[in-house]
A = this chain, B = another copy of it.
Amino acid sequence: MKNRIITISREFGSGGRTIGRKLAENLGIPCYDRELIQQIALESGFDENYIKDAGEYAPGGFLSSAFSNRAFGPTNEDYLWEIQYKIITDIAQRESCVIVGRCADYILRDKADCLKVFIHASMNCRAERIVKVYGEQEKSAEQRLKDKDKRRASYHRFYTNMKWGYAPNYHITLDSGVLGIDKCVEILQNLY
């Protein structure tokens, strides 16, 4: 039987990762999130924190400009993208699972039976959440969210040429702030 994959893209602070974890647990399948970064670190030799950050910067920004230049060949991010591409493809061939972030929806677009999900929430809900869950400073929460959103959208756009957060790119999108985390999990679980 063909594996069935749920890919979750999400706005920072919307609880997309929590939804992915709970959903996977309820369905009895693995959830790849931090595990992906660990695998990319293992295969690439890069530090996990570097990979985490690189997944939110399109080449040209961030450290890449200091260490490499696209005119002279692939950047560090391009190299990481290739490894990430291979790891996600391998996982999808191996087993049914939930994959959070890392453009998995795009990477698997013609390769696997995917349910493509996007999770978002209002700025207020997300700010409240990152203060509560991640212990972020209340004062700077909104600026940090805008910054993160911009980076994720730009990274996604650079490598996939798809509009991040545009409904027709997903099978289902959910406002976790209005519907609640548990309701989102329930809807996705019923759909699977």
Give A contacts to B, CB under 8 Å: 11, 118, 120, 122, 165-168, 170-175, 178-179, 183, 187, 190-191
Contact = CB atoms under 8 A, between A and B. Distances in A.
A175 to B, nearest CB: 4
A113 B169 CA distance: 27
Contacts of A174: 171-172
A30 to B, nearest CB: 23
A13 to B, nearest CB: 13
B167 A191 contact: no
A163 to B, nearest CB: 8
B167 A120 contact: yes
Contact of A165 (B118, B167, B191): B167
Nearest to A149: B168
Contacts of A190: 187
Given A165-B167, A172-B172, 11 more contacts: A11-B168, A120-B167, A167-B173, A171-B174, A171-B178, A171-B179, A172-B174, A172-B179, A173-B173, A183-B191, A187-B187
A170 B172 CA distance: 11
Task: List 7 tightest A-B contacts by C-beta distance, closest first.
Answer: A167-B173, A173-B173, A171-B175, A120-B168, A167-B167, A165-B167, A171-B178
B175 A170 contact: yes
Contacts of A167: 118, 120, 165-167, 170, 173
Contacts of A175: 168, 170-172
8 contacts: A118-B167, A120-B167, A167-B173, A170-B173, A171-B175, A173-B173, A179-B191, A187-B191
